Structure 1
Amino acid sequence: MIAALETVGLRKSFGALAATRDVSLRIEAGARHALIGPNGAGKTTLINLLSGVLRPDAGRILLDGADITFLPPHRRARRGMTRTFQINQLFAEMTPLETVALALSERRGLGRRWWRTLAAHADMLDEAAALLARFGLGDAMRLRASVLPYGKQRLLEIAIAIAGGPRVLLLDEPAAGVPEDERHEILSIVAALPDDVAVVLIEHDMDLVFSFARRISVLVDGALFVEGSPEEVARDPGVRQVYLGEARHG
């Protein structure tokens, strides 16, 4: 069976620093896959390679079996890969309804003509409103994005990514900077993402990781250290030493 996303021997260096070292991953269709590791392990570099923000020095990236190693980000998005960022990438003055409608219009090939034809596409507005309601943003869909609480902004960013109709969704720390009382809403939304979308999550919140993931890859110093089910990873003595810090505590 063809993987939704696969990397083969992926490498990236910045001068003498090897940020990603021969990483080979296989993400199945509909996967719930988490990437964890200590600070500096190469997690965000790997996501940047997958999404096309960075080009690898060596190795390949396959999306549904097709080589996308050197495709730019927008062409990867059209083929079914979308992502979120550690820091919001929202249009502050646009409303959630306008922003999600824009993402839907890109998926339909309307591009920058969306604002001229929006009134003629009531079905697109209905789809945008329904998606926002699923993400708990129904009451805020006509507010400017800049006035939304930070947790709602993070949810909006995920909703925009889903509006693109991805086969693979890369979530880079979706709960970063979100107050504790809003993190649970993000957790429930992430857990309820469509079953046909393979989700790759980077997250430091281990409660979120172990509640979400069916498979976990641990990166250390740019290399794949351990991979397995959440139970296998939690039991691994090497993970406890390197990631949980037991080596520092005797």
Structure 2
Amino acid sequence: MSVALETINLEKRFGGLVATNKVSFRLAQGGRHALIGPNGAGKTTFINLLTGVLPSNGGQVLLNGEDVTRLSQQQRARRGLGRTFQINQLFAAMTPVESIGLAVSERMGGGADFWRGLGTRTDIIDEVLELLERFRLTDVMDHPTARLPYGKQRLLEIAVALAGNPRVLLLDEPAAGVPEAERQELLDTLAALPKDVSILLIEHDMDLVFTFADRITVLVNGTHFAEGTPAEVMADPRVREVYLGEEEHA
């Protein structure tokens, strides 16, 4: 199995609290892998370690076989690691065309030149239009982001992340806060993401998890608790007690 993203005994401590307890994990090339666990399980800390937001206290992070443990967020992003956030990081006054265009231009080394040369860069325009269509944003392409339905904002954030041409994409609770009426569009778009991009999904929505993922890892108290196919995880009595039991008492 070719591995896109891997951790080996990854550890993070905050004083006497062990938030990530020697976690070893593998995301297969082209995989659709979900990370789940009860509140306080350490999922956000783990993602922040993967992306370089937090430094680790031990262990390694390997991206496509390269040790990136000591690299910055920006250096990891340039090597193909992209992410979205629980709360979107979009510019409220920008439109989808502007947001995606800027992301594509920055990846191509244009940066601010995007604003001056938009009409002359057919390569950028073609890619922006393709992403707008893929993420079902053509009908709102000229609307300020602040005015978009929340489901469209989530789609836009994923489109901007994909515009960076990541080889590995971390989706941090993409369905969080999305109204029921907009969820199917989000689910359909996630299902159609490029197969050559390896995806790690962090999500509480079990319908999305079991629909999207071909493999699931369960974190509990910062520890790798269980892993397997969706059917294996669903049938594991330990997972049902620790994770699904929390849902029953929520």
After TM superposition, the score normalised by the length of structure 2 is: 0.96
Shift of 1:2: 4.2
1:44 matched to which residue of 2? 44
1:215 match: 215
Residue pairs, 1:161-240, within 5 angstroms: 161-240=161-240
Contact 1:2 1:65 in 2 (8 A): no
Q: How many residues align?
A: 249
- Partner residue in 2 for 1:17: 17
Residues 134-187 of structure 1: CA deviation (Å, up to 9, x unaligned): 111011111111110111000000000111111100000001011111111111
CA apart distance, 1:116: 2.1
> Shift of residue 211 of structure 1?
0.1
For residue 101 of structure 2, what is the aligned residue in structure 1? 101
2:3 and 2:111 map into 1 onto residues whose CA distance is 30
Which runs of 5 or more residues in structure 1 are unaligned?
A: none
> How many angstroms apart in 1 are the aligned matches of 2:191 and 2:13?
34
Q: Read off the aligned partner of 1:89 and give its amino acid letter.
A: Q
* In structure 2, C-alpha distance between the alignment counterparts of 1:105 and 1:75, rounded to whole Å: 18
Asked whether the 8 Å contact 1:129–1:141 carries over to 2, the reply is no
Give the deviation of 1:18 after TM superposition.
1.1
Other structure's SS at 2:26 match: strand
What amino acid does structure 1 have at the position aligned with 2:133?
Answer: A
Deviations 1:15-46 (A, max 9, x none): 22211100111111100000000000001111
TM-superposed deviation, 1:68? 0.6
* Letter paired with 2:227: E
Q: Distance in 2 between matches of 1:208 and 1:223?
A: 23
Q: Which moved more, 1:189-198 or 1:237-246?
A: 237-246
Q: Secondary structure at the match of 2:6?
A: strand
**Letter matched to residue 127 of structure 2:** E
Hey, what's the Cα distance between the residues in 2 that align with 1:222 and 1:9?
12
Matches within 5 A, 1:62-81: 62-81=62-81
- The 4+ residue runs of structure 1 with deviation greater than 3 A are none
Partner Cα distance (2:8, 2:180) in 1: 37
2: CA distance between counterparts of 1:5 and 1:140? Answer: 34
Aligned 8 A contact 1:97 1:125 in 2:
no
DSSP-derived class of the 1:117 partner: helix
1:90-124 superposed Cα distances (whole Å, 9 cap, x missing partner): 01111101110111112111123322222220231
Structure 2 distance, partners of 1:185, 1:70, is 38
> What RMSD, in angstroms, separates the aligned Cα atoms of the two structures?
1.5
- What letter is aligned with 2:218? V
